[in-house]
Chain A
Amino acid sequence: MTALLLSCLILVALYALYIAARVARIGAAPETFLDAGGTLPGWSVIFLLPGLAMTALGVERHLGLVARFGLQASHVAVGIVLLAMAALLIWNRLWFAARIAGLGSPGAALGQFYGSITLRIAVLILALLFALPFAADVLSFAAALLETATQGLLPRAAGAWLLAIALTIPAIVGGWRGTVLTLAMLSLSLLALLPGVTVLTELTAAERGFPVMPIVVADGILWDRLPGVVRYIGGVGKHVPQEGIFTAVAVSSSALALLGLVLSPPALYLGQTLRAGRSFGVASVWLTGGLTAGLVVLCGPVLAGRLSGGVPALAAALHEAEPLAGTALFLLLLLPVLLAVSFLVTGGALIWTRELVVAYLFPGLAPEAQRFAARVAIAFTFFFMAFMASFLPLTSAVLASVALPLSVQLLPALLGLAFFRWIGRGAVLAGLTLGCLIVVFTEPLGLILFEGLFVDLPWGRWPLGIHSAAWGLVFNLLLVLLSATVTQRAPDRFQRDRLHDALLAATGLRVGGRGLLWALALLWGFFAYGPGAILGNTFFSDPIFAPGPAAALGVPSLWVWQILFWLLGVVLVWWLAYRLGFGRTSEDRIKPITLGEAPGLRVPDWLAAGVARVTGRGTLPAGPVEAPRRRAARR
């Protein structure tokens, strides 16, 4: 299996190099190296968004959790529909903002829209978090898996460096376009591998698996149901409930954390650099909300049920039946990692080049020099990432744990840019600061630091089983709402109104006044992965409206519930994409504007004059108060 697996990985590397070389040979303008000229083909995001969704979920981690906790862990997969909705809504608006106001990168979009350097820096820090520790953490896992698969032939550190080099060279040669075109193929391969490996496993297995047989878990774990709505217990590290950790609120908060990847700076950048068309709709409705979520909901438990002996044991069994099937299992676990590393590191390095080097350090940089700077940035970022993956795996893991939840804290800022003009800079910054603090102190990073320096904190990771992303976002949104009420007439409102008016003119989309849609969306969320999901435990096996147990379905009730709400979720995303029109982008009605500094508040003349008279100093306004004096002087 070693030779076959390594051959496949070498073929993937050669494929990436081939595409990158083809991109380089068309002789495009040097500056397009950084952003593909804003003309990435629509099909690239159609294929790539499912891969990003699977990366956010973490195929290996998800299968491992389902193998350990059963269907309660598998319920998180319904959150992929939520991810598709978020990508659809935010990417669409950001795409228009990029074309209307020339806000070509996420930092520029948020920084210029809110007139805040802090937000630019926040985006850069997030991009760095994803490019270094997050990517290093997943690469470290991939290298460890490769070591296992090759029976020690390729040690973990060597594997990490080899994989990093294989991804670095195509990125340096092909830039953003080359990277995205290659990753689209990897993502499509993932969509083929997940059902393929599942079907092959079932067809070649000697014994029947899930759903005929239950998923084998430890004693006491409720494998076929959610263990309640919420547990009033400390977080991970303090107390792990015997029935399992995936309560309804744990599921909903984990689903919320999935949004971190589509709200990450490289993912937003991907949305901004696409060509106009219908790709957002196809990507979010059919490929991500439909196919990917369905595949993970359907195939996840089936495949996880075979993983009780671990990945190497299943791969060996598959290899015995068909050598390429064993390799396919390892590829299923390795390809999302390669996708994440290549996407996040290349995207992060390009964003840093645009936001820092080109915008601030060397503003007049020639296009060729910009491309060179981007190549150097990519090389250095890959080097440091591989260094962290090889020699600092623990540090990477601790830092990586905050990347997704911190990214989710950008949501209010993005909502303000996309939909709610009443969210101002002060509100966003206050909420972001509080949200980030709460995330850090409900993740290992803050807990280790604080408990090492001072005293033990009473809560562990994810208190009450609620993901840190949700803890941060709740307080973040609360503070944003409170702050927004008192900053309605802030000086930056003028610029925000201009962009929102231009957005409305370009898209013709009004999100308000759709009461039925938003009510249905909330209702769906409540039942799909919110507290209402608890009803799914017995809804189809022991209905509450029937006198006794229903006829045996042959499958767990919770699994049917998940499938049902996945399908209903697809309808919702379809509504957003096609009925409301978020699935389409067009440059036809765009009227470009230039966002500038907001004019300061003008002090009312009567107030200024009054203050001047009382204090006897200061300048009187050159308005009606000044005019009689000038007339007197002329006389």
Chain B
Amino acid sequence: MASQDMTDRLDRHALVMAIWTPAVFAAAALLHRGVLVGGAWWIAAGFAALLLAFAGHVIANTVLGTGFTPGETALGLAVFAAALGALLLSALVGPDGIGADVYLALGLGFAALVVAVVAYLVIAHGPRRAFEKFDVIRDNNARRASRLPHRGGRR
């Protein structure tokens, strides 16, 4: 039998999907248009749609008292890496002149996404805890004593 917790998680998942689906469609249309006609403003609008969805996701997390799930984080990183890789590959091995008009706009867009994520982490967790989320070296001491407060309270 389903617990309330499972239902809540499903509802949150559906909410996140509902936020991202129209945003991704809008971003795809705008970015495609931008790449086709070489318009920086179209590309900016496309990234704005993505940033809007990200803001919506953060608001949903705040209202529901949750955070990004590991699956969401992994999917976001994978998609971001794939998109960045595709951009770099097209610049390196593509025919001369391909997308020369749009590299700057796309690069700035990707940078804006990174800035948004970093800003979210700093605002939500503070500078120290935001850094600790990536500080795997700090957590490599498996001994239980390392978690004691007088030894730094690791983890």
Contacts and interface: CB of A to CB of B under 8 A. Distances in A.
Interface of A: 8, 15, 19, 22-23, 26-29, 37, 39, 41, 43-44, 47, 181-182, 184-185, 188-189, 191-193, 196, 200, 321-325, 328
Contacts of B21: 15, 185, 188-189
B1 A28 contact: yes
Interface string B1-35: 11010110011011101110111011011001100
Contact of B29 (A28, A184, A322): A322
B33 A321 contact: yes
Given A29-B1, A41-B11, A322-B32, A192 B17 contact: no
B96 to A, nearest CB: 26
B23 A26 contact: no
A188 to B, nearest CB: 5
B36 A19 contact: no
Nearest to B21: A185
Max chain A C-beta neighbours (<10 A), residue from B13, B14, B60: B14
A355 B32 CA distance: 50
Nearest to A331: B25
Contacts of A185: 14, 17-18, 21-22
A165 to B, nearest CB: 21
B13 A22 contact: yes
Contact of A188 (B2, B10, B19, B60): B19
Contacts of A28: 1-2, 7
Contacts of A193: 22
Contacts of A191: 22
Contacts of B4: 39
A324 B25 contact: yes
A37 B2 CA distance: 11
A335 to B, nearest CB: 10
A457 B60 CA distance: 57
Interface size class of B (residues with CB under 8 A): 20 to 34
A45 B23 CA distance: 19
Nearest to A43: B15
A44 B14 CA distance: 9
A50 to B, nearest CB: 13
A590 B61 CA distance: 30
A325 B23 CA distance: 14
Contact of B22 (A19, A37, A182, A192): A192
A182 to B, nearest CB: 8
A181 B16 CA distance: 11
B34 to A, nearest CB: 10
List the 7 closest pairs (A to B, CB-CB), nearest first: A324-B29, A185-B18, A189-B22, A41-B11, A181-B14, A26-B2, A28-B2
A56 to B, nearest CB: 21
A424 B25 CA distance: 51
A322 B33 contact: yes
Given A26-B2, A27-B6, A192-B25, 11 more contacts: A28-B1, A28-B7, A29-B2, A43-B60, A181-B11, A189-B21, A192-B26, A193-B22, A322-B29, A322-B32, A325-B33
Interface of A, helix, strand, loop or mixed by DSSP:
helix
B26 to A, nearest CB: 6
30 contacts: A15-B17, A22-B10, A22-B14, A26-B10, A27-B1, A27-B6, A39-B7, A41-B11, A41-B14, A43-B11, A43-B15, A43-B18, A185-B14, A185-B17, A188-B18, A188-B19, A188-B21, A188-B22, A189-B21, A189-B22, A191-B22, A192-B25, A193-B22, A196-B26, A322-B32, A322-B33, A322-B36, A323-B32, A324-B29, A328-B25
Contacts of B18: 43, 47, 181, 184-185, 188
Contacts of B25: 8, 189, 192, 324, 328
B28 A324 contact: yes
B45 to A, nearest CB: 9
Nearest to A32: B2
Contacts of A37: 7
B61 to A, nearest CB: 13
Contacts of A23: 10
A41 B6 CA distance: 13
Given A188-B18, A323-B32, A325-B33, A26 B26 contact: no
Interface string B23-54: 10110110011001000000000000000000
Contacts of A47: 18
Nearest to B8: A41
Contacts of B15: 41, 43
A321 B34 CA distance: 11
Contacts of B2: 26-29
A12 to B, nearest CB: 9
Nearest to B60: A43
Contacts of B10: 22-23, 26
Most chain A beta-carbon neighbours within 10 Å: one of B19, B26, B28: B26
A28 B8 CA distance: 12
Contacts of B26: 192, 196
Contacts of B23: 192
A545 B17 CA distance: 53
Contact of B14 (A8, A19, A328): A19
A324 B32 contact: yes
Contacts of B17: 15, 19, 185
A539 to B, nearest CB: 36
A323 B32 CA distance: 9
Interface string B94-109: 0000000000000000
A286 to B, nearest CB: 13
A497 B17 CA distance: 45
